[in-house]
A = this chain, B = another copy of it.
Amino acid sequence: MKVGIIGATGYGGLELIRLLHSHQEVQTIQLFTSSEEGVSLSTKYPHLTKLYDAPLEKITKQAIEQLSIVFLGTPSGVSGQLIPNIYNENTIFIDLSGDLRLKNSADYEKWYGKKTAPEDLLAKSVYGLCSWNNDAIRSAKLIANPGCYPTAVLLSLLPLLKTNLISHEGLIIDAKSGVSGSGNKPSQLTHYAETTDATTVYKINKHQHIPEIEQAIKSCTGTVEPITFTTHLVPMVRGIITTSYAKLSPGVTAADLHKAFTDTYSDDPFIRFMPDVATLSTKQVKGTNFCDITFNVDDRTNRVTIVAVIDNLVKGAAGQAIQNMNLIMGFNEKAGLQAVPLFI
């Protein structure tokens, strides 16, 4: 099987290469670029020496048609305009950017501040939230791969929202991310001397993942209330930890929540529910497609605190994209995604 990556020089692209490299069903990986045609990826990234020395290829409809799968790791605003030019019936498209996630194009333009993708493309795209949308994913031709924050938030809240164990009203989500989420382009916010040894809050109530989370809650549970969502930058490369706060529905106990999680995830290949742990760390999923979840009920307040950790580049991007590919192609869902976490 031949797969392609458009936007191979970004961190999403690099992570796709890293994971696909050891995927047994993938024979060839072709790397495409819009701006650095002819450059060898290993010149730009010496860690790929002897592994990916071939020059990056130009994006053409002809080249893309030869592929079974193409992944797009481009910045927001690109794939929505590019896909119409290269779309074809032979190829499955998996878009890692936010361009195709929001069904309401006005939401995209409001939260992203950019021109939306064409409506017919939005209509065709399937939201690739694995474990929750697998039936639609299996027959999709065009996947909108979920955002990093939404993945952690949704996987940890949907089991409780769907069963009405917690209130839709008053959801508070406090999210912390590693710096790789900002991509490979240097800026003051990612300048080592100013980023290290510090935690920064940013985009309070303004993050473009807010409408994505709300849309998915609505889609999976039938109802939604506006959420409160804050994002922080933490001095680590990989990892997201989301701490969510919800009101318990009347009469609900910790045992009910426990059952909802195990009912939903006990057979899941990548979601590990971890009740009664003293700590939960982004380290324990590093480099893998795992999402680890725990919760604690506070009898003093009748609220529950739910915590999830993922690797933003894997489960929050390239890993879930490959899981989507596996579902679509009928491969083992874990193919290429069986690494042990890089705890140290």
Q: Which residues of chain B are near A14, meaning CB under 8 Å?
A: 343-344
22 contacts between A and B (CB under 8 A): A11-B193, A22-B22, A45-B343, A48-B340, A48-B341, A174-B243, A174-B245, A176-B176, A184-B191, A192-B192, A192-B196, A192-B235, A196-B196, A197-B197, A197-B239, A198-B239, A198-B281, A199-B282, A200-B283, A228-B301, A235-B235, A237-B344
CA distance A194 to B14 in the complex (A): 13
Whether A106 is near chain B, meaning CB under 8 Å from some CB there, is no
CA distance A204 to B282 in the complex (A): 16
Which of A60-68, A130-138, A271-279 contacts the other chain? A271-279
CA distance A59 to B62 in the complex (A): 59
Whether A150 is near chain B, meaning CB under 8 Å from some CB there, is no
Q: Mark A304-344, 1 if CB is under 8 A from B, else 0.
A: 01010000010000000000000000000000001111111
Smallest Cβ distance from A48 to chain B, in angstroms?
Answer: 7
Selected from B180, B232, B243, B283, the residue in CB contact (under 8 A) with A47 is: B283
CA distance A278 to B189 in the complex (A): 11
Selected from B172, B189, B277, B300, the residue in CB contact (under 8 A) with A172 is: B172
CA distance A243 to B243 in the complex (A): 11
Smallest Cβ distance from A161 to chain B, in angstroms?
Answer: 16
CA distance A313 to B193 in the complex (A): 12
Which of A69-77, A120-128, A140-148, A284-292 contacts the other chain? A284-292
Do B180 and A307 touch (CB < 8 A)?
no
Q: Which residues of chain B are near A237, meaning CB under 8 Å?
A: 192-193, 196-197, 344
Do A339 and B22 touch (CB < 8 A)?
yes
Residue with the greatest number of chain B CB neighbours at <10 A, chosen from A21, A51, A205: A205
Considering the complex, which residues of chain A in the window 45-97 have a beta carbon less than 8 Å from any beta carbon of chain B?
Answer: 45-51
Interface size class of A (residues with CB under 8 A): 35 or more
Q: A-side interface residues toward B, CB under 8 Å?
A: 11, 14-15, 17-18, 21-22, 45-51, 170, 172, 174, 176, 178-180, 182, 184, 186-202, 204-205, 226-228, 230, 232, 234-239, 241, 243, 245, 272, 274, 277-287, 292, 296, 298, 300-301, 303, 305, 307, 313, 338-344
Smallest Cβ distance from A178 to chain B, in angstroms?
Answer: 8
CA distance A14 to B191 in the complex (A): 16
Please judge, given known A-B contacts A198-B236, A204-B305, whether A18 and B243 are in contact too, CB under 8 Å.
Answer: no
Q: Which residues of chain B are near A274, meaning CB under 8 Å?
A: 46, 49
Do A193 and B197 touch (CB < 8 A)?
no
Residue with the greatest number of chain B CB neighbours at <10 A, chosen from A49, A198, A298: A198
Please judge, given known A-B contacts A192-B192, A232-B241, whether A340 and B51 are in contact too, CB under 8 Å.
Answer: yes
Do B338 and A22 touch (CB < 8 A)?
yes
7 smallest beta-carbon distances between A and B, as pairs: A186-B186, A47-B284, A174-B174, A198-B283, A47-B341, A200-B281, A204-B296
